[in-house]
Amino acid sequence: MSEVAPLPRVVHSISRAAFAAVLMMLALAGAGMHAARVRGDESAAGGGLGGPAGGARAAVDRDRITARALARLRDPGDRDVEGIVDRLAEALRGDGRRWSDVAGRLLALLGHGDRAVVIRAIDATGDLVRRSVGSELLVTRVDQTVLARLQEVASDRGRDALVRLAALAAQSVRGREGTLSDEASAGTAVALLVKGDEAVAAAAVGFLETLPRDAVAVPLAAHLGRPEAVARRRALEAAAILGVPLPLEPVGALLREDESASVRAAAARLVGRLTSRDPEAAGRLLREALRDGEPSPRVREALCGELGRPGLVGRENSRVLCSMLDDPIVEVRWVALEALATAGDRYAFLQVSRHLLDEPEGSRGARLAREAQKRIMSRIRRPTQPEEYRPEARLEEKRAIIEAVRAAPAGVVQEKGIDALISMLADPDPGARAEAAEALRELTPAGRDAAPADPFGYRFDDPADTRRDAARGWREWYWRWTRGER
């Protein structure tokens, strides 16, 4: 079975109104008919509401407007649904009896043979229900009947998927009783997402964007174990687009073990977006996937791109990215260069410079290599100030300081950088303490002379009092060293 193309990335942020517009455009694409001007038709017919309030003429005009607006819903060439709803709402004027009649006529259109007409009727119904919140436009009894009918359509598996999504969105009204729960709505939308065509999948992501992330996470996570590769891939892509915090463990398992390259690539992109939750685990998963000899160029590109995220800056990530400069696929090498521009250190600068010699002058690879050189060197030459270190910062920020000190040429940041590393010996994070101690042993004369031991007996996992005494030894050495003493 051939792979289905990934979800469009244009659905990153879709409001309810934009979601309705997406549905309508998808349903009516190719209709090719000229849009009718509802307001113009009504004006020409003398259908304004300017008569005396409550007068017979005003009532007749409102009936005429209502009839014309409802008739327009049957015209698949007319896309001005918002204008139709404006006129309907204006004609109803909070009249529960009139709304009951209009609601019945709208719901009757749900049996129409043209999908475009059905979606128009659903969209108009949902818009009127939303406008009723906090107003006197609808009476509760009619409101509940309409919502129940929309839910029937959303749950009808024999219905067209886009129609079901339109009904799901129309009944999802904040502030109204009788609507489906967020969890139930998310479950239905995700089921349509993983089974429908790409138009349905895009519309489903647009609807899921309107729901709380916690409600969406459960059904998406449940579909990671589906037997169909397209279902697993779409669940991963939707989670990445929507920023849904799925558990890292099952996503990592798909990255390591899934037989489908498109699923592994989608898993790599989602792991990268989960960096803020656990940067150390995310970085390890991405590095291991590259070191294990990922066979698909498409997946290697995704892995390199995610390793270049600012939250994953670190020595190990930079080394792995440098190894990808020798990849046989040119597109993978390009992505690795782009990632190194963000994540590269001094070692990476040397590797990028070497790689530049192999790139034809004027080629894209040469341009990317020069840009990476420029951006890496700008970080290497930037002095690291002690005040940049904050104990409450995230681990990746502390690692960035350590790597900046490692990468800096001698004499540029030595004093201030070493000062920051010594301060980090008291960090609350054991990972930061361990890496700072390793850097001190590597970069300072005292550390190199005592290698492989720590000159002052510092161990990152010792009790706090013991660590404090050893850090004091480092501080005293630093005071003497900056004054030229031995």
DSSP classification of residue 34: P
Residue listed under structure tokens 């017919």: 45
- Asked whether residue 5 is assigned to any structural domain, the reply reads no
In a domain, 284, yes or no: no
Is the bond into 452 cis (omega within 30 degrees of 0)? Answer: yes
CA distances for 356 relative to 333, 342, 343, angstroms: 11, 17, 18
How many angstroms separate the Cα of 343 from the Cα of each of 145, 318, 337, 372, 383? 57, 6, 10, 10, 17
In whole angstroms, what is the distance from residue 336 CA to residue 75 CA? 52
Domain of 473, in residue numbers? 386-481
- Does 180 fall in a domain? yes
SS3 434: helix
Compute the distance between CA of residue 215 and CA of residue 181 in angstroms, rounded to an integer: 9
Domains in the chain: how many in total? 2
Q: With respect to residue 164, please indicate whether it lies within any of the assigned structural domains.
A: yes
Domain boundary among 158, 176, 211: 211
pLDDT of residue 210: 85
Domain end point (choices 177, 211, 245): 211
Domain final residue, candidates 196, 211, 226: 211
With respect to residue 33, please indicate whether it lies within any of the assigned structural domains: yes
Extract the tokens encoding 10.
Answer: 């244009």
Tell me, what's the pLDDT at 96?
Answer: 58
Distance (Å, whole) CA 247 – CA 258: 17
DSSP 255-301: HHH-S-HHHHHHHHHHHHHTTTT-HHHHHHHHHHHHHTT---HHHHH
Name the residue with tokens 């904050």. Answer: 390
pLDDT at 407: 67
Is there a contact between 177 and 157 (Cβ–Cβ < 8 Å)? no
**What gap in Å lies between CA 251 and CA 20, rounded to an integer?**
31
Q: Is residue 376 part of a domain?
A: no
Along the 486 residues of the chain, how does pLDDT read in single tens digits?
A: 444 455 544 344 344 444 555 455 544 443 333 333 333 333 333 333 344 444 566 666 667 777 777 777 666 455 566 667 667 766 665 555 677 777 777 888 888 778 887 888 888 888 777 776 655 555 555 567 788 888 888 888 888 888 888 888 888 865 556 678 888 889 999 998 888 788 888 888 988 988 888 899 999 999 999 999 999 999 999 999 898 989 899 999 999 999 999 999 999 999 988 887 788 888 899 999 998 889 999 999 999 999 888 767 677 888 899 999 999 999 999 999 988 888 777 778 878 888 887 888 888 888 888 888 888 777 665 544 545 678 888 786 787 778 777 766 665 456 678 888 999 999 999 889 999 999 999 888 888 888 888 999 999 999 988 999 999 999 888 888 877 765
Report the pLDDT value the prediction gives residue 93, as an integer from 0 to 100.
57
Q: Is residue 253 part of a domain?
A: no
Side-chain-side CA neighbours of 211 within 13 Å: the count stands at: 31
- Mutual angle of helices 395-407 and 414-424, in 10-degree steps: 150
Pairwise CA distance, residues 64 & 59, whole Å: 9
Within-domain flag for 266: no
